[in-house]
Amino acid sequence: MTDISTILWDVGGVLLTNGWDHAGREGVLSRFSLDPGEFETRHADANDAWEKGLISVDEYLQRTVFWKPRDFTPEEFFGAMKSESRVLEDSALAILENIAMSQDVDLGMLNNEARELNDYRIETYGLRGYFDFFFSSCYVGCRKPTPQIYRLALEVLQCDPEEVIFIDDRPQNVEAAASLGIHVIRYRGPEQLERELASLGIVAEVA
């Protein structure tokens, strides 16, 4: 088996809760007494552009919430959005920390996230201390599961696919990476992740 040189990690659903998923949106919309159906019709296109780094959070909120006067501010609404981020109950953070401390492989983020939320999560949860590379959709202009984002990571890293492991909780994302020859692990919890990493030669046991 080819030696593994790099592990690429999703964040939402593996390390932290998702940044701005359906459940998070529901909670924030309820807090501000907004109509979910009305919001969701505006969200999809605006979110795609936001996660690709094509628009700012100000424009995203203008398109989805502040297209008419509100009795709260964009700052208050975005603060509520950020509060939806937490460490996942069955987070792989401890495993990531062990691997980072070993310095046996390079570590990178490969995630779909809008810039302002991504920057907040990296800073708040100290992710810069673990990762060497950040292939976030908002920085590279493309999103999973399109093959482009995985190819870009391989080209930037100058890695062959068989040298790389990609960890993600969503089947469509791991399937896309696997189609390029990347080793993939669909995350279902820390114990399962430890086992599958060990099968690929990565020791990551948490005491």
Rounded Cα gap, residues 74 and 117, in angstroms = 14
Tokens of 144: 């999973």
Residue 1 has pLDDT above 80, yes or no: no
Structural domain contains residue 49: yes
Domain that holds residue 175: 6-18+87-199
Co-location of 140 and 62 in the same domain: no
Q: Is 204 part of a structural domain of the chain?
A: no
Cα–Cα distance between 64 and 42 in angstroms, integer? 5
**Mean pLDDT for the chain?**
96
pLDDT in tens, 7-32: 999 999 999 999 999 999 999 999 99
CATH number at residue 190: 3.40.50.1000
The Cα–Cα gap between 144 and 139 comes to 13
Instruction: Render pLDDT for 118-159 as a digit per residue (tens, 0 to 9).
Output: 999 999 999 999 999 999 999 999 999 999 999 999 999 999
pTM of the predicted model as reported, rounded to 2 decimal places: 0.95
Mean pLDDT of 96-106: 95
Residue for token pair 């669909």: 186
In a domain, 205, yes or no: no
Count of the separate structural domains present in the chain: 2
Q: Give the confidence band of 204 by pLDDT, cuts at 50, 70, 90.
A: confident
